[in-house]
Every structure is written in C-alpha cells, then in structure tokens.
Amino acid sequence: MRALVIGGARSGKSRIAEELALTVADKESLPLVYLATSQGFDEEMKERIAHHQKNRSLRFQTVEEPLEVARWLEEQQQHSVVLIECLSLLLTNWMMQGLDVEDKMGDLKCVLQETTKSWIVVSNEVGMGIVPGDPLSRLYRDHLGRMHQYIAQMADHVYLTIAGIPLDIKASQSSFHL
C-alpha cells in the first residue's frame, strides 16, 4: 500500500492517514511507524505537536526525523506501515537548513519507489491559492508541487481531504487518458 493524503490546513488529512495506516497494518499484520518531520521551534508549534501526539494511537512507534527521511527508510530492515507526517514540513526543514532540495527530493523519490514497506505520506496542498508574493514562498510552492507529483505517480491511492472527507482522486484518474 502506497498512499498520498493531501489537503488544506485542518482538512482532516492526519486523522484519515492514521486511520488508513491502522487499517493497512491490521490487514497485513504489520507494525506501525509514525515518522514525524515537525520541529517545535515555537510555543504554537509545540502545542500542535502535542495535540497530534495526544490523539495518535498508541500502536504507532513514533520516530522524529526532521531531515533524513530517505536515509531512515533505507536503513530500516523491518517491514512495516510507515506514516510520514508531513512532507510540507520536511521541505520547510530542508530549505531552512540550506540543503539541496533537488537532491533530497531525488533521494526520497528513489527510496519510496524501491522500498517494500507500505507507506502513507501526508502533505499540505498549497498550490490552489494565489501566487505567493515573494520568491522564497514561490520556490517553496513549486518544490512542494513537484514533490506531490512524484509521490502521486508512485502511490496506489491519492486522497484529497476536504472538510474531513477523503476523495481518492487517483481512482478517478483511471478513466482519463491523454
């Protein structure tokens, strides 16, 4: 199982991704890993992280990995269901550290393509609004949009969440041909 769960802020994507991960883990009798990319640099973000932790099933083993998600996935030998939360914060971390985003995206793309683990990637959809007014925000939006495309191509399912309701947009793609 490979899935991208994408949506706007407070759209329900985390809850849906967690429910999906639990379902897959039960069906395949696999352990669950919650690969957290967030960092609590301020009080508001610390509160968000605490809220997620409080509401997360205790069945998840939580691993905090704000930068090296590809390397972590590559090094793990145990087959499991890995929920990566979230891609948009991972990109922020890479950019704020001055890392080569293209290289990091390439590494992640390769590992997700090659791994035998079941994975679910959560991300924020930021490309549906107005064009950002500054170059850094435009670059972020463009990088994230490309990452979404790469991951969506590899995924079995792509869920767009709106108001807590998931829509599998990849399933509806099967009838569309260019």
The owner of tokens 């972020």 is: 140
**pTM for the complete prediction?**
0.91
pLDDT per residue as tens, the chain (178 positions): 999 999 998 899 999 999 999 999 999 999 999 999 988 878 888 888 788 878 777 888 999 999 999 999 999 988 899 999 999 999 999 999 999 999 999 999 999 999 999 999 999 999 898 899 999 999 999 999 999 999 999 999 999 999 999 999 988 765 555 5
Contacts of 20-27 spanning 24+ positions with Cβ under 8 A: 20/120, 20/159, 21/60, 21/81, 21/83, 21/120, 22/57, 22/59, 24/81, 24/118, 24/120, 25/59, 25/80, 25/81
Active-site pick, 52, 79, 143, 177: 52
Q: Which domains does the chain have, with CATH numbers?
A: 2-171 (3.40.50.300)
Residue 52 annotated among the catalytic residues of the structure: yes
For residue 169 the two structure tokens come to: 């947009």
